[in-house]
Amino acid sequence: MSNKKIYKVIGVMSGTSMDGLDCSLIETDGINYYKVMKEYSFNYERNYKNKLIDIIQKLPNSKNERINYAKNNEALITNTIFKLINEFIKKIKYKKKNIDLIGLSGQTIFHDPKNQYTLQLSSGKDLCKKIKIPVVSNFRDKDIQLGGQGAPIGCFYHKYLIKKINMNSAILNIGGVSNITYLLNKKLIGFDIGPGNAIIDDLVYFFYKKNFDKSGKYAKKGLLINNIYNSYKKNLFFKKKYPKSLDRNYFKSYLNKLKEYKKNDAIHTASLMTVFSIINSINFHKIKLNEIILTGGGRKNIFILNRLNEYFKEKNIKVSLIDKYGFNGDLIESQMFAYLAVRSIKKLPISIPSTTGVNYPISGGILYK
């Protein structure tokens, strides 16, 4: 297969924030050529998001039970994704026959890097049957089989962005979980750094029945809960070197404790926990750069953004939003799965030892046609 071939691909992403489905139609060769054609974000209805949360909360304890449980709950997610992709294709008025591939991420409901297994719900096989377009999915399976953690999986797309924008920068995605990607002497490095929006969003819904802290207005009104914040900073995760990755609920014990305090103080503290995880990732790993480029929903949180700017200004590190460079920061992850789908069918690497801990550079993803 020629690596020069350019594909028209829909990338589909439902992140750990579980706030909606992002769809991006792009043209790419999976290497250096890339063009965004059409994009759209669908917000999940609260009822559906509650079902996703309920699926996660009711996960059984053993690995085998979890795998069976995941299969039994997969149809709900696959059907929802099918419906929304169809809606996306109608909305952009694009002929289905001209779409070469769909890159499908699946909804992460459990991630256990210690025991090297992860669960993403949505069936590429069933989606392909329904939508009549080839689907690439299961991007993480091969990585895990060969000693990797299966996450973070999007570093090669982030590398493309870094090379296009600033070779001395890092891409920092603040989703439900935050992750960072950068180049060290041309070596690609990426890892999860801590909670992003997950704890904040869960607290905002618990206290206010809203999906997120718009612009960080609740956090701005609160005060720091020192004992929880200081305990959080001592968590062993922050002393681990990469490769490392996280489940959305890894820090759930702090969420439960914060629910017992005043609402804005709890949200303020959770937001500073996210800020700390970002600062710690740069300092602990001694990352030398001159710019941090933010993507994901957390980049819109003005409280978090201001705190990052205050800290990194003294280090002569610029904090930028990727939108400044002509990319939609809400849709980077869906673009990423389109890009990875093409790399997968061309057998190009999507993960390496310094991103997921896999034994050697590998491609991944299963093609259903």
CA distances from residue 215 to 195, 198, 273 in whole angstroms, order as listed? 18, 15, 16
CB within 8 A of 330, min separation 6: which ones? 22, 41, 296, 297
Instruction: Give the per-residue pLDDT at 2.
Output: 65
Would the CA dihedral through 332, 201, 253, 138 be positive or negative? negative
Distance in angstroms (rounded) separating the CA atoms of residues 119 and 140: 9
Show the CA angle centred on residue 80, arms to residues 8 and 364, nearest 5°.
50
Please check whether residue 284 is in contact with residue 239, taking contact to mean a CB–CB distance below 8 angstroms. yes
In one letter, which amino acid is 57? Answer: Q
- Using CB atoms within 10 Å of the CB of residue 66, give its burial: 0 to 12 exposed, 13 to 18 middle, 19+ buried: middle
- Helix (H) or strand (E) run with residue 76 in it: helix 74-92
> Which pairing describes strands 169-174 and 366-368: parallel, antiparallel, or unpaired?
unpaired
| Averaged pLDDT, groups of 10, the chain, 369 residues long | 86 89 97 96 93 92 90 95 98 96 94 88 97 97 95 97 98 96 97 97 96 97 98 97 95 97 98 98 97 97 98 97 96 97 98 97 97
- pLDDT tens-digit series, residues 131-174: 999 999 999 999 999 999 999 999 999 999 999 999 999 999 99
In this prediction the pTM is 0.95
Task: Tell me the one-letter amino acid at 104.
Answer: L
Burial class from Cβ neighbours inside 10 Å (0-12, 13-18, 19+) for residue 115 reads exposed
Across the chain, the runs of DSSP E, i.e. the strands, are 7-13, 20-28, 34-43, 101-104, 107-112, 117-121, 135-137, 169-174, 177-184, 187-195, 291-295, 318-321, 366-368
Q: Which two tokens stand for residue 183?
A: 């180049």
- pLDDT score recorded for residue 116: 82
